[in-house]
Each structure stands twice: as structure tokens, then as C-alpha cells.
Structure 1
Amino acid sequence: MPDSILSDQKSLRRAFGTFATGVTVVTTGDPVPHAMTANSFASVSLDPALVLVCVDRCAVMHRCLSMAGRFGVNVLASHQEAEARHFADRSRSLGAAQFEHVDWLPGSLTGAPLLSGALARFECELTAAHDGGDHTIFLGKVLWLDQRPDREPLVVFRSGFRQITPERVEVTA
């Protein structure tokens, strides 16, 4: 494939955007609380329980996560688009002030903010960081989790937030 096709970042971004993904807010607690909306999150392994999150090397979260060594991942539910937008806004306040209008609790193992109402929440210990071009791939061991299976996810597709509406099928005997 010619390099010129891949050098057009707008086309590349649009092509990547055709893959629907969940929306998360990644958080750190120490030394200063910080959060970032991310859709580059994935499960890696069940044994041991590992997840990954990819963070741009220029993002404030990159430095925070590297320093903290522990982090939280909040998988957003369909009603949490406002939180996703808030933590994606680069002009928001930093530190604890960014959490003033968000319902959250500090994780008991990591101190990382865990958002109320999330579909799932994980507390993780950073186990490795790998080069991923302009991003770093942070690998974390899951220390704790909880989930709300009664909720639907918030997803992003073609650079827009979407909600999944489950089709209800009734089975009759």
C-alpha cells in the first residue's frame, strides 16, 4: 500500500472511526487527580486479568498515569455523554477542580476517581508501558472491578456518540 494513502491523517481518522468502540474515562488519583475520555481501551487477558489503554504522549494523562502507577477505567453508560464530553474538553479545569460537577468516589485501592453510574469500573496497577507510535500502550493488572449489567453502553462511531438500543424479541411457546 502506498505511504501517501496513510499520510492523509483525516482519511485515516475517518477509516479508524468506522470501528464502533465503547467510551471510557481513564482516571488517576495520586499525586493529583486527573481524567481523560478514551476509546482506546481493551481487555487483554483473563488470567491474569489485564487491560490496556492507549494515551497520546502529549496528553496530560500520559504524565499523570506514568507518575501514579495506578489508574481507574470507567466504562460509560448511555446516559453519560455529558461526562464523556466534559473529560474530552481540553479547556476544562485540571486537578481536583475537573471533578466538581461529576458524581464520583475515590477507588479504595488506587485512589483513582470512579464515576457513579458507569457501566463498569476497574481499578488497575500499571504493569507495563509499550511504544505505540505517537501513543503509549499502558497495560494494567485489574485489582478490583464492579459492573452494572442493567445499563446500556455509550459508544462512539464516525466521531459521534451513539447509544445502542437493544431490540426486544419476545419468544412465545
Structure 2
Amino acid sequence: MHSIERHVDPGTYRKVVGRFATGVAIVTTRVGDVDHAMTINSFTSVSLEPLLVLFCAEKVSRFHDAVLEAGTWGVSVLPASMEDASRFFAHRGRPMNGQFTRWAHYRGETGVALFEGAIATVECETTAVHDGGDHSIVVGGVSALDMPSEAAPLIYHEGAYKSL
């Protein structure tokens, strides 16, 4: 693989890719009896046959190692009303104990925590992990789906939360 020469300013790069509006989700996993969660906007459908999705996890996050160890994970796509949850689970170093108590949640088929207020949930088993620079690209086979609520989605665009 060829090394990519950098001719682009990282600050400009962030601004340019920030123009791509994304949905916001919280990805969850469980190792032993400990729940782990992280806010993401790098979630996408990959394949219909087989059913595959992916998200990207920053390698230095504690979630990264937990999700790779667990091998199963869930994604709760957030409605505009759950911006507070998105902000909370995006905060590095927050206490692990009781982190889900502020939001109604349930256990999915894989045992991961999923948010009742989510507009969509997807449960997955990891099928591949690829290097993505300072992130890992985690690909999962879909094992369960749901649409717990009907609401406008939470959107992230140009460094700010927005809604439709």
C-alpha cells in the first residue's frame, strides 16, 4: 500500500467533511457485566447480502478494546430529543457506573443495552475489523433490528447538532 502524502490542512479537512450531514447514534457493547457505550456518527449500511453495517471506533477510546473483546454490539439511532444522551456518551472518561440510568433502555437479543427512545436499533456480531488510521472500522453482521419510536432524527452538521 502506498503512503499518502499530506497536502491538505487537517483543520480544513475537518471543515470539509463536516459539511456531510450525518445521523447520530450510540453504539453499545457488554463485556462481562459491564456496559460500554460511545456516541458515533460514523455508522453506515454496507451490504444487503449478507446484511452488514459498520461504524468506526477511535483506537485510543476504552470502547474500542471493549467492543473488539465482546464481539457483539448494538446501535441506537437517536431522535432529536436525545441530544443530551449524545453529548453525555461523547464525553471521554465519564464514570462507567450508572451511565445508563438517565435514559430508558432495555437489553437486546445479544444482551447489549439499547435505548427505548431510539428511532432505530441494530444488533450485530463483528465479522471484520479493518485498520482506518487512528480508528478501526468495525463491520458487523446484523442479527436483530427494531424501530422503537417515531421521531425526527438527530443530525450532526458543520460541528453542531441539528434536526429536520
Common fold by TM > 0.5: yes
- Root-mean-square deviation (CA), in Å? 1.6
Greater Cα offset, 113-122 or 140-149: 140-149
Identity of aligned residues (%): 43
Out of 70, 88, 95, the position equivalent to 1:86 is: 88
SS in structure 1 at match of 2:87:
helix
8 A Cα contact 1:30 1:112, kept in partner: no
8 A Cα contact 2:121 2:148, kept in partner: no
SS in structure 1 at match of 2:151:
coil
Counterpart in the other structure of 1:44: 46
* Cα offsets for 1:60-88 (capped at 9, x unmatched): 11101001000000111111101101101
* CA-CA distance at 1:2 after TM superposition: 7.1
Counterpart in the other structure of 1:10: 11
Counterpart in the other structure of 1:139: 139
Q: Which amino acid aligns with 2:163?
A: Q
Counterpart in the other structure of 2:37: 35
Q: Distance in 2 between matches of 1:116 and 1:63?
A: 26
Q: Distance in 2 between matches of 1:80 and 1:116?
A: 11
Which structure 2 residues correspond to residues 96-107 of structure 1 after superposition, within 5 A? Answer: 96-107=97-108
Q: Distance in 2 between matches of 1:92 and 1:102?
A: 16
Shift in alpha-carbon separation, 1:153–1:34, aligned structure 2, 3 A = same
Structure in which a larger fraction of residues adopt strand: 2
**TM-score, normalised with respect to structure 1:** 0.87
Mind listing any 5+ residue stretches in structure 2 that lack a counterpart? Answer: none
Instruction: Decide which structure has the larger Cα Rg and report it.
Output: 1
**TM-score, normalised with respect to structure 2:** 0.92
Counterpart check, 1:150 vs 2:158: no
Query: How many equivalent pairs are there?
Result: 160
* Cα offsets for 1:134-159 (capped at 9, x unmatched): 11000001100001573211010001
8 A Cα contact 2:73 2:123, kept in partner: yes
8 A Cα contact 1:29 1:106, kept in partner: no
Counterpart in the other structure of 1:167: none
Q: Distance in 2 between matches of 1:158 and 1:54?
A: 19
* CA-CA distance at 1:58 after TM superposition: 0.5
8 A Cα contact 2:129 2:139, kept in partner: yes
* CA-CA distance at 1:30 after TM superposition: 2.3
Q: Distance in 2 between matches of 1:71 and 1:117?
A: 18
* CA-CA distance at 1:4 after TM superposition: 3.3
Q: Distance in 2 between matches of 1:150 and 1:80?
A: 13
8 A Cα contact 2:154 2:161, kept in partner: yes
Q: Distance in 1 between matches of 2:51 and 2:122?
A: 11
